[in-house]
A = this chain, B = another copy of it.
Amino acid sequence: MNFRSDNTAPVSPEIIAALTSVNDMPVAAYGEDPWSKRLDETFGEVFERDVRVFTVASGTAANSIAIASATPPWGGVICHREAHISCDECGAPEFYSGGAKLVLVEGPSAKMSAATLKEAVARNTRDIHSIVPAAVSISQATERGAVYAPAEIAALGEVARASKIAFHVDGARFANAVAALGCTPAGITWRGGVDLLAFGATKNGAMAAEAIICFDLDRAEEIARRRKRGGHLFCKGRYPAAQLLAYLKDSLWLKLAARANTLAQQLGEAAAPFLSVPVETNQVFIKPGAAALAKLRSDGADFYDWGEVGAGEARLVVSWNQDEADVKRLCALLRSLQ
């Protein structure tokens, strides 16, 4: 019963098939192939506006290249203390940006409120001796599985616009957020003021397909250059493009995410007394104590400890292809702890 992470899952059959389907002839390299050239238009339809799409090899690359294009080296990027860009990317945003600074803020469920953002901008806007707030970065869904509703995005976007800072979203689990909110992709991105989205597909059924969705077209040329210099302009661009096209086709991305979200809800109900935070997407955080976690493991469940060392907290992640029987078994185990 593997609930460690959605990145342990294999690739969905539709996406594997897409790779094969584009494999039969020579095509231009470096994104000049027919599938790569369709990305802007296809994402444009999904997001209901003109966009530029840049495929890269990882979420870390998508976040870091986007952020580097949104801040000068002397800028500050306001993000949550638990943000992936702060905790899990080995300083990649600092590397790509030439040394910009992540300004950490707090908030429940790893979310940042508009008020917190406003306060952080104000506190860090000083003089030549301090950095300059340049961007805000949030995760949708967050590292604690929470989502920002359209109104929350809009409120953050309003602060960003008023502060003249860019708005970046780490969407490693963007599909899970859209599926959970039942909103349009536009509703939680550019309509709310988002400039740059790191759109993740890998955790939700792709092989290696992440993309920077650029809503602020003025930044496109810079992103193209930073991607190339980072070594993320794929030589055989057709393969990541084909993955993304298959991922979007017939709403596959939302179907896979919705399934994982639904199963996570079942786990959440079974673990109701132990939940650290409400279950909103495909991640479930429980805090039943160290002994209970040990028991779950001895009964065959595999997952990560979470939070402070020794806190007796854990994270359970449901993947796109999670076995329903495993979910049922884990639900039973969780109920038995009560």
Contact surface of A with B, Cβ cutoff 8 Å? 2, 4-5, 7-11, 16, 19-20, 22-30, 56-62, 64-65, 72-74, 87-92, 94-95, 97-102, 123, 128-132, 202-203, 207-208, 222, 224-226, 228-236, 239-240, 309, 319
Contact = CB atoms under 8 A, between A and B. Distances in A.
A74 B60 CA distance: 14
A233 B99 contact: no
A94 to B, nearest CB: 3
A206 B11 CA distance: 18
A282 to B, nearest CB: 14
13 contacts: A4-B28, A7-B30, A8-B27, A58-B231, A59-B235, A60-B233, A74-B229, A88-B129, A89-B231, A91-B101, A94-B101, A101-B102, A132-B225
A99 B91 CA distance: 7
A23 B321 CA distance: 12
A24 B19 CA distance: 16
Contacts of A2: 26
A231 B229 contact: no
Question: How many identical chains are in the complex?
Answer: 4
Ranked nearest first, the 9 interchain pairs of A and B with the lowest CB-CB distance are A61-B231, A94-B99, A57-B57, A60-B231, A8-B26, A7-B29, A2-B26, A88-B129, A90-B228
Contact of A230 (B7, B92, B131, B309): B92
Name the prevailing secondary structure of the A interface residues: loop
Nearest to A238: B10
Given A7-B29, A10-B24, 5 more contacts: A11-B23, A57-B231, A74-B229, A97-B99, A208-B234
Contacts of A207: 19, 236, 239
A25 B65 CA distance: 31
Contacts of A57: 56-58, 208, 231-232, 234
B229 A95 contact: yes
A62 B234 CA distance: 13
A51 to B, nearest CB: 19
A91 B19 contact: no
A102 B232 CA distance: 21
Contacts of A29: 5, 7-8
A87 B131 CA distance: 8
B99 A7 contact: no
B235 A7 contact: yes
A203 B309 CA distance: 43
A309 B57 CA distance: 34
Contact of A90 (B9, B24, B131, B203): B131
Contact of A20 (B5, B16, B64, B231): B16
